[in-house]
Structure formats: structure tokens, C-alpha cells
A and B are shown apart, each in its own frame.
Chain A
């Protein structure tokens, strides 16, 4: 059987690359942690991979704003390749800092448009927050969304978040309406029973409680929570999971690997 190859892009300040690598390996993929300098030197290397990951961390210290310097670098040095890769339909995920990068490059919500129309700004609490939250996949989204990453999940799952700038906002309500209409908001913060949450279960004050979105085609997915930190039941505060051994985060990576196969 074909080995699915995953590229985990790292740079100064990336720090969730090892656990993300482990998560993909657990799902049967090969996962390489590749430094951005290597990729800039050999731009076409990216097309050797089936899946592209922008992992969590503090790229370049999140100086100026979270993910800003890395998205500026990617846009200016790898823009064409990344866009081409995204439009090819291959799975791309951005987790936490990676989500901030996807939004700031403009791969989300629409790689064809390739412009930033949303942002992830400072949490309402003005604090970094590390905690577990509930995430809801709405029925309509479950039915209509093309997102390849969030299949096979129950209505509500829990994942940990850890960020200081995760408040999803838009300068224009129309953009948000479009996301809703196209079923692109795949994860919203919620209570355990799926109902409307308050702080701290919405850890950042996101509009519409948005925690994760995908593009219309469904191959590009960005989210603030960390699925790579919940691949084993052991990692859950109460040691729950989808079976005795694995956590719900694993399903997300498995979905992408299975999609490629």
C-alpha cells in the first residue's frame, strides 16, 4: 500500500511539530519535519508530499502579531507554490499558529482569492489560555460540508486550546454569512450538550464561537484547538476517548490520511 507523505513545515519558534509528527505516524503516514529554509531553497520539494501541515507554536515569537512574520515570509517566498498546492486539492491543515498563518496568508477561507479577510486577534481576556473546550459539529455542516478533516466525528468532541490570539473576527459580516451559508464553520465552541457557551468555554470571544473553518472544497482546514494533543485517551483530563486507547483528535488526522489513500 502507498505510504502517505506528510510535510510538517517548521521554522524558528514552531513547537508542536513533534507531537503532530507522532499523530500522523500513528495514522500510518510518513511525516517529515521540514525547515522553511530547506523549502525555500528547493521550492518544488513541497509537491513530493500528499499532506501539508502548518503546526502550532510561536513562529518568530509571534512578534508584530501571531503568525504574521511567517505568513509574510511564505507569501513572498513560497506564495506561488503554496497556492498551487492548495488548489491541487491536497489536504492542508493549520493548527493554532498554523491556523493564524492560513488566515493571514489568505489560504482560508478561499485559496483562489488568496487574500486575508478574517483575522485571529487577541483573546477578550487579554491572556494566554490553556484549557480543554467542547467543539460542536453542526448537523447542517455535517450534512453539507466538504471538509475531509472532520468526518466521522460525534456531534460534540473535546480538545485542548492554548493560545493568546484566537478570537476569530471579520471586518465584514457578509464574509461570515458566506462561511455559514457554505457550511465552512466546521467547529464551534459549545457546551457539552452542544448549547451556547460562555467564557471560559469560549476561551477567546470568537464571533459566532468559531473555532475552526475549512475552505469550500474542504481540503484546507484551520483550527485553534490542538487535535494532536488528543490522540490517546491518556491525554484527556478524564481519560475518555473514542475507544480504550485513542482520542478523538486521532480521527482528524486519520481522515486526511485515508482521504489520500
Chain B
């Protein structure tokens, strides 16, 4: 083999174990010793040393980011509960939990799950809808604007690269950040202030999403000091795709076309970087700046090419760049790429840099030779650069050349299946959750707690963010993120509904998007955190009119270092909950992603982020007219709470603001909740529900207040009428006690909805509810006073609706 001077040989054949590790570290390969040994042995068999480009290709193909080594690797899991230990071996955690649930559920409307760039479910007889959520955490910590912009840009390309390309209809974004109002002196040196990070990430999503013409319709921001150094940035995109464009094909002789942005030195080592802990020296080149207009041009032109059937497969250039895109498409047959043909932003890139650069806005197409001229013309007519850089072969090898010289030549099988499976240990100790001492508060204490809860960062209005996003572009957002009865006042919607009338002419159907997450629960109980996240996402979707039988979900894990057995243990617990709850609700996972190694060092001490499982839900709604919003609609209408209120204040927002000790984290009771969700769907379909709101953070008090102030109305609630469950109390502290008013109002039990019904629909509504647990708790009033009263406990909380609105509204204004 002949090499150009621009390509170096890496001598590994005779390296000792230490030297192998050192090499991995020095070249930012992020490969373990086991992996380096396997690489060395492979090249021993080939009787030569690898080139730099070969090492880089292996490193990125085997990266945590691309291979999900932890979730698909061997795990030895030990769980301790009440002093008793149980063990279990997972050969592939993902396949044995999340993926398994989907396989067992076997929903015919799931069209493509866990195999493409996004999951796809059926929309109607001719179309599917695809959904994907990604994270872009480390780049956002270093360069918040560029990091989040390329995050959203990347997940949009996942949707463009699913099947033969879907048309994006909506974006979602979820941030986990430090307190933006934190004192600057409390921020570790060398770290951006949370306010700067927040402004940066919001602007990044805003500029990229708005310029792509995709409405950002759903999301949330979660605040915790644990995210100051290592913020989390989740971006999601949903798109619509004809059913006959879902399958990719790659054939011998097909040409490889790279389309869109040029390749530069930006984003080198992004894939391997994402599994290196954050430190100040973090690779500078991992930061990229996106150009949404290039991506928009690609989108416009590629949909034209798709509908003209000019290509057989497409995928995005994400982490790992061309290496990953071409490698993935050609892994079964082989490919040859002429690296000197790749269009560059500037001269001076070495072959390996061209190959693994993660420069933005690039897509790779597989084109039959007979269509190559036509497809290039389609792109060039709209000023999009499209260049043929190689072809697919049948030698099952990856061959790269530069100026006619072969610079890499490896077996696809080694590259894609050669990675050794390490065994990781995981441990989880289930901690006991005790019900707190009774929370005795008088009327005025409860009143001021309510105002504080509404103003809390994790409950307060996110309007400052939402209005910077064009959440109405494409004209299809029929249930909006902020919901009101007029345009002056609005409250927090549970979910958004997209009515894709411009794409599917004559349709009545819609797509609902929602999310759920609660890292605070995870600090106490990882299982309940995951279970609650799923339920919250489902409740949010159901609250606007989704049918729980047609909802699919995505998992996105952001955890600390999985080499720490306790962190991996909590991850295992969470995936177990995913399996159980997905099965119980019969709601399948269709795609997912994990970002591990979210940890950082301050003064040599290691910190992990509070673990997060974000659940994003997508459902199909039969008739978009049968959807509801959360503000109360009319004075005199009756208010019901559906579901049981339990004494579950562990990890609640109330427990945080009141420094409460103990408490049980909300549990999930799928059979109760699922029944209620189905009944809400029936009632909404029959037009019996005027307003509906999910009851979660801050409990009944917050949910009811939000429904009132977003309508500029009053409400009168009888606390004693709420259905509470006292079984838990029997077991705790050795005595039965009734929940106090504060506990009833602020408990965050899952499975509950607040619903507004017209008096003359009451009978029909109750008939639908049948045996479900529900109670009438009050009515909408015309005096703009929000009143919660318990005669039993002699408590009466009364607040002006406008006052509550202001408490909720004014926290975030940067």
C-alpha cells in the first residue's frame, strides 16, 4: 500500500498495553484498552500498521455516541432492597428492556422502530410520521449558541435522513440548566454563567429553527444547580413521510453523492468527544457554527429529488461525519470514497480530517448511475452543491483514496462488528421512602406557598423562551404551546397539536407532541423517575385530546459516567421502569438516544449531573377538531379531578421550596391511569370536555390556578371533595391519618387530570367515566378569585387570579 505524505502510519503493532492506552488518549480516540488490543490484533493479522485515517475511522465507529456501547453492552447488575441483594446479567440492556417492550407490543402502526435515524408510526393509509430527539450537551456548555443551533440542525437532518427523507413539521426543545439569576461568584471558574448559557441556547434554537421554517411547539426548561457546569440541550424534530418512501436500498455500483455544506475542520472529534468528560481543555474544534439556510436549501431541493425518485437511500452526516454516513450505508456491501473529491471550505485538510469532520448541513445520497446527472441538476438549480465522491462496491470493504493512493482499506465486518463487548458492573440500592410528618399549614401559609410555587423556576411561565420561537410557521399549530381564550392572556399548554393540512390535503388528522421529565424524583428513586416521566408525557398528550392507544414514545437518557456502578445501576433501574410502564400502558418506544459521561470536575472533585430520562411522546389524533386547551371556558361550569391523590410529596416542587424532609416519590399505577386516559379520550371525542389540564408539578393547587388565571376567571374548590388514598399512611409511622390540606393541594401523584364540564353534560360525562375514580371539586366563578377551602380543616385560601398570573409570569425575563 502506498500512502501520501499527508497520511501517517500509526505504529501500534508492537505497543505495550500502557502505550496503547496512551495513544488512545493522546489522539482523542476514546478507545478502551480492550478495544485498542482488538485493533492491534486486527492489524497484526493484516501484517501492517494502520494509517491515521483508519484509526480515526475505528475510533468514531466504535464511539459511545455511534455504538451505544453501554446500553448494548454486558452489564452485571446488583440490586439491594431491604438488605436483600438480587443479581441479573444483561447481555444487551436496550434489547432486553426498552426495545423488548416494543417487540412484545408488536403494534401494526409502528412502521419503523430503532433501525433508522428516527422512529416512524402510521399517520394515515398513505403516510407515516417520524420523530427523533437528540442531545447536544457538551458543545452547548462551551459555545451555547453554536451548540444548541447545531443540535437542532442535527436532529432536523435526522428527519431529512429517515427513510428517503421526511418533511419536518415541528421541533421540540428541552433544556436542563442552572438558575439564570444565580450570583456570579457561585459559578465555578471558566464556566459560563447560567444566564449566558440560557440566552445562548435559546437563541441558537430560535435562529436555526425559525430560519428552517419549522415551528418549535413543545418543550420545557428544567432548572437545577447540578446543570451549571454541564447543561443539557435536547432537540427534537417530527416530520411526515409517504409510506412508500420509508425503505432505503443500497446496491452495488450506486454512486455516493455528498450534498449541502462544505467540509471544514469544524467538529473534528465530536463523536468521540461526547464521551470524554468535560474539562477546560475540551477539544476546541468540537465547536461548530451552523448555517440554517444551507440546510433549508437542501430540504427544499431534496424533497423534489425524492418525489422524482432520483435516489435510493439517504442519510445525514452527523457525529462521525462522512465516515459514519458512508460506513452506515455501505456496511453490508462495501464502499470506496475518493477523499480528494469532497468539496472543502478551505485548503489544508488532511485526509482523516476530511473523513471524520462533522461540518454541518451535509447529507449523503445513494444514487443509481443513471440518475446522477438529473439529481445534480435538481440541486444545482437551487444553488445547492452536490458532488459525487465515491461508489458502493461488493467487496465488503471500506476503501478510501486520496490523490489516487489508498489511505484506508478495512473490512466492513471488522469495523461494524469487531468491537469487543466490555462487562460493566452496576449497583442500585432501593432507598426506603417514608411519608413526611404531617404538613400543618394555615390558610395564609398555604396561600403564600401557592404563589411561591407558581413563581418557581420549574413551574413558572416559559413565555420568554416560547415567544422567541416561531411556533406558528407552516400555519399548522392548532393547539399551541401557550393557550388562552383570547390573545392577551395565556397559560401553559400540556401538549401541542399539528394539523398537517398543507402537506396532506383534505386530512382531518393531527399529530400531538408532548414530553415528561423529572430529575428531582431521580435523586430519590430512579425507577419512579422513569415511570413518572412516561406517565407525564402520556397525560400531557391525553389532556389535549390524544388517544393513548395511538401514542408512541422516545427515550433520551442523560446520565453521568456509566463506569460508576451506582450511576449505571440507576440507569438499569430506569430502563426496567421503561419496560414495565411501556408494556403496562401498551405504549411502544420507537426510537431513543443516550448521552452518558455527563460529569465534570471542580478542584479535582468529580460531579455528575442529576440523571435525566426525557420521554417525548408523539400520537396521532383522528380529528383535530376534537382537541381541547387548558384555560377554563365559562363561569358556572363544573370542575372535576380524575384520579387518586396520594400522599406523594417526595421530590415535589413543594418539598424543594419548603425544605421538607422525606416523602414518597409519586408512583405510577398504569391500570388506573390508562383507564382514565381512555375515558378522557372518549369524552373529548364526544365534545363533553371544555378544558383539561394535567396535574403534575405543584399538584392540584397549581393546575387549577393555571386554568383559572389563563382564563382570567375565578374558581371555587372544595379540598375535602378530592379523592384521597389513605392506604399508604397505614403503613407509615404506624397510624392512619388523613392528608392535610397542604398535602392534598401540593402532592404530585401521577394519574390525575383537572377537567371542566358544562353542567348539562355532567350526566353523559359521568356515564363515560363509569367506575373510574373521580370527584366533583368545584366550579368556575365570575369573581376572578381563586378559592380553595376545607371546612374539615378550617382552611380557606383565596387569591386574586391576576395576582397568581403575575406570580407565575414574571420569573424569567432575561
Contact = CB atoms under 8 A, between A and B. Distances in A.
B381 A21 contact: no
B475 A229 contact: yes
B796 interface: no
Contacts of A15: 211-213, 296, 473-474
A37 B300 CA distance: 14
Nearest to B206: A128
Interface in B472-514: 472-478, 480, 483-488, 490, 499, 501-503
Contacts of B383: 12, 37
Given A13-B293, A61-B211, A129-B467, A21 B478 contact: no
Nearest to B476: A19
Interface stretch (A75-83, A111-119, A143-151, A234-242): A234-242
B500 to A, nearest CB: 10
B499 A234 contact: yes
Nearest to A18: B502
Contact of B488 (A12, A16, A201, A229): A201
Given A12-B297, A18-B502, A60-B293, A234 B468 contact: no
Contact of A132 (B206, B292, B487): B487
Nearest to B814: A127
B558 interface: no
A226 interface: yes
Chain A at the B interface: SS class:
mixed
A14 B299 CA distance: 12
B624 interface: yes
Contacts, number: 111
A133 B487 contact: yes
A14 B210 CA distance: 11
A259 B484 CA distance: 36
Contact of A12 (B293, B477, B499, B503): B293
A82 to B, nearest CB: 21
A253 interface: no
Contacts of A10: 300
B304 to A, nearest CB: 10
Interface in A130-167: 130-134, 158, 160, 162
A35 B382 contact: yes
B37 interface: no
Chain B at the A interface: SS class:
loop
A231 B475 contact: yes
B470 interface: yes
Contacts of B503: 18
A158 B499 CA distance: 20
A158 B487 contact: yes
B499 A237 contact: no
Contacts of A132: 487
B486 A12 contact: no
Contacts of A231: 475
Interface in B591-650: 624-625
B211 A237 contact: no
Interface residues of B, number: 41
A21 B625 CA distance: 23
B484 A130 contact: no
A169 B754 CA distance: 47
Interface residues of A, number: 42
A35 B210 CA distance: 20
B211 A13 contact: yes
A18 B500 CA distance: 11
A37 B382 contact: yes
Nearest to A22: B502
Contacts of A127: 467-468
A75 B633 CA distance: 51
Nearest to A26: B501
Contact of B470 (A18, A162, A237): A162
B471 interface: yes
Interface in A221-261: 226, 228-232, 234-235, 237-238
Contacts of A158: 487
Which of B474, B486, B487 has its CB near the most chain A CB atoms (within 10 A)?
A: B487
A38 B378 CA distance: 12
Contacts of A57: 213
Contact of B211 (A18, A19, A58, A229): A58
A234 B474 contact: no
Interface string A21-59: 110000000000001011000000000000000001110
Which of B293, B466, B499 has its CB near the most chain A CB atoms (within 10 A)?
A: B293
Contacts of B490: 237
Which of A14, A21, A22 has its CB near the most chain B CB atoms (within 10 A)?
A: A22
Given A12-B297, A133-B487, A237-B483, A19 B382 contact: no
Interface string B446-475: 000000000000000000001111111111
A243 to B, nearest CB: 15
B487 A130 contact: no
B210 to A, nearest CB: 6
Contacts of A12: 293, 296-297, 382-383
A21 B624 CA distance: 21
Nearest to A62: B211
Contacts of A228: 475
Contacts of B381: 35, 37-38
B470 A235 contact: no
A154 to B, nearest CB: 15
A13 B470 CA distance: 14
Contact of B472 (A13, A38, A60, A229): A229
B461 to A, nearest CB: 13
Interface of B: 206, 210-213, 291-293, 296-297, 300, 381-383, 466-478, 480, 483-488, 490, 499, 501-503, 624-625
7 contacts: A12-B297, A16-B474, A56-B473, A57-B213, A128-B206, A237-B487, A237-B490
Cβ-closest 10 pairs across A and B: A15-B213, A19-B475, A132-B487, A229-B475, A61-B293, A162-B470, A18-B502, A58-B211, A22-B502, A234-B478
Given A10-B300, A12-B297, A162-B210, 17 more contacts: A12-B296, A12-B382, A13-B211, A13-B297, A15-B296, A19-B474, A19-B475, A37-B381, A58-B211, A128-B210, A128-B468, A130-B468, A158-B487, A226-B472, A229-B472, A234-B478, A238-B485
